[in-house]
Amino acid sequence: MNNFLTDTRFAGIEPFESKIWLSSPTMHGDEQKWVDHAIETNWVSTIGENINKVEEQIAEYIGVKYAVALSSGTAALHLATKLAGEKLYGRAHPNQGTLQGHKVFCSDTTFAASINPISYENGEAVFIDTEYETWNMCPKALEKAFELYPDVRLIVIAHLYGTPGKMEEIKAIADRHGAFIVEDAAESLGTKYKLNGRWVETGTLGSYNCISFNGNKIITGSSGGMFLSNSKEDAEKVRKWSTQSREAAPWYQHEELGYNYRMSNIIAGVVRGQIPHLKDHIAQKKEIYERYKEGMADLPIKMNSFNPEKSKPNFWISCMIIDEEAMCETVQGQRDALYVSESGKSCPMEILEAITAFHAEGRPIWKPMHMQPVYWMNPFITKNGNGRAQSNAYIKAVGEIDVSADIFRRGLCLPSDNKMTREQQNVIIDIIHRCFK
């Protein structure tokens, strides 16, 4: 690793006194009030007023009839995926998942938590390549996947970094094939999407929808998540599963497998204090994105893009992608990366190391799921068809394409903390400029 503090390109820049985070929790005061309220009233459990209130408030904000508060976004995704499997294929034996023996199409560029529940339920994740316009699931690749696997009935889709995917196209494809959608809106709470001419919130776009209140999200409970639905029956099923699937009997009676996935009333207190600040957080994150865009307009890079006619992102994390011609030579291994610094060029690793040296936090783009060793045996589909094993020692692959891998190779997440000042952000922008010197 370079010593950026002595590198003459960075002369005159001092490390930040306190670290600039990628995205850290921002508390406002009322969080403490509602946590205290839970303790004072002795509702220090998975029932209580805070839970009821946050379920009501989030359901109203998003525009769904029911919200079920859970211990994490991952728990919400697990139960949503399990429920989809049960609806499609019937109840499973307790020692089998509801997706046993079935393939599921899913986002490729996302956090593992989006798609691991497919494996928890014994299904096989089939990764669908990404498109460049929103960095989400590519509808053309999804069409191709249905050509190859016409029996698939479930799609799991995430909205990356707060930018919604091309949901109109994806929903139309899903409808044509009679498939359900599990929507992972963990990163996109507060994001709006224009669906058939009407603005709606992400979290309403799937058959089963999930959000997260993880500590780094746009608002947080320190942890927590929610399942969102317009179906009373689905919401009640998820609530039941999340509280160990207890039946109405004097003793603990179980007719279904259960989980300890309910949100605690203490966590709900933090979420309750945060909800009134969601819009402010989005406005701050939007300013950060716009300042990066403007401040780096002269560099050979682009910001993560979106179509303003179709979406109003929550700008959770600002990202950039380096133009191919401006990429310095770089090699990514499984656990580390090497690069050769070159004047006029840079690469994500160099920028991330420079930012780190000056005491700020960036991050690589989510490493695509089809590139993760745990999923190396799972299919990966691009708009040209099978995305794996297309070449051999004698035949050069034709039309090989892997948008996910390309975005991972050239992209990075920028410090996007809403407590970062304009002056601090200017220093980050300056550091990035100097990486290209």
Ligand X SMILES: Cc1ncc(COP(=O)(O)O)c(C=O)c1O
Q: Which stretch of DSSP H or E encloses residue 201?
A: strand 198-201
CB of 32 to ligand X, least distance (A): 22
Instruction: Figure out which of the listed residues 51, 54, 118, 158 binds ligand X, where binding follows CB under 6 A.
Output: 158
CB of 53 to ligand X, least distance (A): 20
Of residues 121 and 187, the one with the C-beta less far from ligand X: 187
Helix (H, G, I), strand (E, B) or coil at 67: strand
Of residues 347 and 369, the one with the C-beta less far from ligand X: 369
Long-range contacts of 240-248 (CB under 8 A, 24+ apart): 241/79, 241/82, 242/68, 242/70, 242/71, 242/75, 242/79, 243/46
Instruction: Figure out which of the listed residues 31, 108, 131, 184 binds ligand X, where binding follows CB under 6 A.
Output: 184
Instruction: Figure out which of the listed residues 23, 46, 72, 425 binds ligand X, where binding follows CB under 6 A.
Output: 72
Contact 205, 179 (CB under 8 A): no
Closest of 333, 334, 317 to residue 411, by C-alpha: 317
Instruction: Figure out which of the listed residues 111, 135, 306, 339 binds ligand X, where binding follows CB under 6 A.
Output: 111
Instruction: Figure out which of the listed residues 46, 109, 209, 214 binds ligand X, where binding follows CB under 6 A.
Output: 214
DSSP label at residue 61: H
Instruction: Figure out which of the listed residues 50, 68, 69, 73 binds ligand X, where binding follows CB under 6 A.
Output: 73
User: What gap in Å lies between CA 142 and CA 155, rounded to an integer?
Assistant: 9
CB of 322 to ligand X, least distance (A): 23
Q: Is 137 in the site for ligand X (CB under 6 A)?
A: no
Q: How far is CA 120 from CA 20, 75, 112, 149, in A?
A: 36, 11, 12, 21
Closest-CB residue for ligand X?
Answer: 73
Q: Is 264 in the site for ligand X (CB under 6 A)?
A: no
Of residues 74 and 330, the one with the C-beta less far from ligand X: 74
Q: Give 310-357 as a DSSP string.
A: TEE----S-EEEE-GGGBPPEEE-SS-EEE---TT-B-HHHHHHHHHH
Q: Which stretch of DSSP H or E encloses residue 273?
A: helix 265-274
β-partners of residue 230 are none
72-80, 144-152, 326-334, 391-399 -> range binding ligand X (CB under 6 A): 72-80
Of residues 92 and 413, the one with the C-beta less far from ligand X: 413
DSSP label at residue 222: B
Q: Taking CB under 6 A as the rule, which mask of x and - marks residues 355-394 in contact with ligand X?
A: ----------------------------------------
Find how far residue 231's CA is from the centre of its chain.
24
Of residues 77 and 405, the one with the C-beta less far from ligand X: 77
User: What gap in Å lies between CA 69 and CA 226, rounded to an integer?
Assistant: 5
Closest of 111, 176, 182 to residue 143, by C-alpha: 176
Q: Is 186 in the site for ligand X (CB under 6 A)?
A: yes
Q: Is 114 in the site for ligand X (CB under 6 A)?
A: yes
CB of 169 to ligand X, least distance (A): 20
Of residues 10 and 366, the one with the C-beta less far from ligand X: 366
Q: How far is CA 92 from CA 86, 101, 104, 181, in A?
A: 7, 11, 17, 20
Helix (H, G, I), strand (E, B) or coil at 394: coil
Instruction: Figure out which of the listed residues 55, 86, 183, 187 binds ligand X, where binding follows CB under 6 A.
Output: 187
Q: Is 119 in the site for ligand X (CB under 6 A)?
A: no
Q: Is 212 in the site for ligand X (CB under 6 A)?
A: yes
CB of 73 to ligand X, least distance (A): 3
85 Cβ contact partners less than 8 Å away, ≥ 6 residues apart: 92, 97, 98, 99, 102, 121, 123, 154
60-68, 110-118, 122-130, 391-399 -> range binding ligand X (CB under 6 A): 110-118
Contacts to ligand X by CB under 6 A = 72-74, 77, 110-111, 113-114, 158, 184, 186-187, 212, 214, 225
